[in-house]
Amino acid sequence: MQTKTIGVVIPIYNVEKYLKECLDSVINQTYTNLEIILVNDGSTDENSLNIAKEYTLKDKRITLFDKKNGGQSTARNVGIEYFSGEYKLKNKTQTLKENSLIEFNIEGNNPYEIYTVYKSYKAFNDEQDLTNFTYP
């Protein structure tokens, strides 16, 4: 029985060559009760952010933070603070559309300059569920 949720934080910075392999490894674990936080730390390569968005769209356990570059430790801290309930997410997307990412802003203190937070539409049952979503 998988009762405990395990949090996984993956910092991303210009890793387009390795990111799919990493994410496939995590999402295909036999222990499936995972909450996966991807933190794009201002990648400047062509595809790191796009790959992260692709995986976020297809797996509802993934939440993607896109932020200004600050280094690996700040990227890890974003994930840790998310799990600690430090962030209040404000919904930017009002309509639930199939095959789309739902966008959130950070409300209040945003020391790591997070631009946008993404979740898959699959994480929400309907528009009311989306409208009522709060974290934590």
Range(s) of the domain holding residue 55: 6-131
Q: What's the pLDDT at 41?
A: 98
Domain-located, residue 136 = no
pLDDT (tens digit per residue) in 9-61: 999 999 999 999 999 999 999 999 999 999 999 999 999 999 999 999 999 99
Q: What's the pLDDT at 2?
A: 76
> Cis (ω within 30 of 0) for the bond into 111?
no
Number of compact structural domains in the chain: 1
Q: What CATH number should be reported for the domain holding residue 80?
A: 3.90.550.10
pLDDT (tens digit per residue) in 83-136: 888 888 888 876 788 888 999 999 888 999 999 999 999 988 888 888 777 766
